C-alpha cells in the first residue's frame, strides 16, 4: 500500500489547513496509508543543532513516504514560518536531502478570495530549489476556507470535485 505524508502549514487545531488534511485523509484512508506530520514539534532551525530527535523523526517521515501532500495557508503573501522552518530542517544536506526526487502535491487555503495562491507559488519555488518533484497540475486552492469547515473537516463539494481526481492521479503516478 502506498503511503502519503501530509504536511500541514498551520499549528492551530481549528485551522482550515488541518481541516483539509483531516477531510482528505478520511477520504483516502481505505486506499493508502496516510500519516500527518507535526511541523510544530520542530525547534527553530539552527545549523548548530545536531541529532534532534524531532528533526530526525520528521526527516525519516519524509524519506519513508511515497509522496508528500502539503496543505498550506497563506500568511502575509507567503508560506507560514512553521512550514518554512520544517522545510529548512529537512532540506539538509543541500541537494541531497530527503526532498530530492520526492513527489510533492501542493494545496493552499486562505480565508480570502485568492485561496492562498501566492503561498502556493512560493512553496513550489522552494520545493523546486530542493530538487523535489512537484506534481504538475492546475493550482489546487481553497478560497474562503474558514467558511467551509464543518465538524472540524473541510466541507466543500466544489473543491473535492476539482481536487480529488488530481490527487488520485498523483497517487497513481507514485513509484
pLDDT band at 43 (very low <50, low <70, confident <90, very high): very high
Kindly state the average pLDDT of the residues 49-60: 97
Evaluate whether 88 touches 109 at the Cβ level (below 8 Å): no
Task: State the pLDDT at residue 46.
Answer: 96
Q: How many folded domains does the chain comprise?
A: 1
**What residues make up the domain containing 148?**
3-173
Using CA atoms, how far residue 60 sits from 15, 43, 85, 166, in Å, is 25, 16, 16, 26
Instruction: Output the average pLDDT for the chain.
Output: 97
CATH number at residue 41: 3.40.50.360
Task: State the pLDDT at residue 24.
Answer: 98
Task: State the pLDDT at residue 44.
Answer: 97
Q: What is the pTM of this model?
A: 0.97
Amino acid at each position: 500500500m502506498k503511503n502519503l505524508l501530509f504536511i500541514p502549514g498551520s499549528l492551530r487545531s481549528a485551522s482550515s489547513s488541518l481541516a483539509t488534511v483531516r477531510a482528505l485523509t478520511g477520504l483516502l484512508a481505505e486506499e493508502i496509508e496516510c500519516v500527518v506530520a507535526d511541523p510544530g514539534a520542530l525547534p527553530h532551525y539552527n545549523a548548530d543543532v545536531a541529532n534532534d530527535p524531532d528533526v530526525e523523526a520528521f526527516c525519516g517521515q519524509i524519506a519513508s513516504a511515497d509522496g508528500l501532500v502539503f496543505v498550506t495557508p497563506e500568511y502575509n503573501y507567503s508560506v507560514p514560518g512553521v512550514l518554512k522552518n520544517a522545510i529548512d530542517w529537512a532540506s539538509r544536506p543541500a541537494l541531497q536531502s530527503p526532498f530530492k526526487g520526492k513527489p510533492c502535491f501542493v494545496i493552499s487555503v486562505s480565508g480570502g478570495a485568492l485561496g492562498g495562491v501566492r503561498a502556493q507559488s512560493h512553496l513550489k519555488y522552494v520545493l523546486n530549489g530542493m530538487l523535489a518533484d512537484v506534481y504538475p497540475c492546475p493550482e489546487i486552492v481553497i478560497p474562503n476556507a474558514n467558511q467551509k469547515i464543518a465538524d472540524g473537516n473541510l466541507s466543500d463539494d466544489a473543491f473535492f470535485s476539482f481536487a480529488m481526481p488530481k490527487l488520485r492521479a498523483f497517487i497513481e503516478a507514485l513509484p
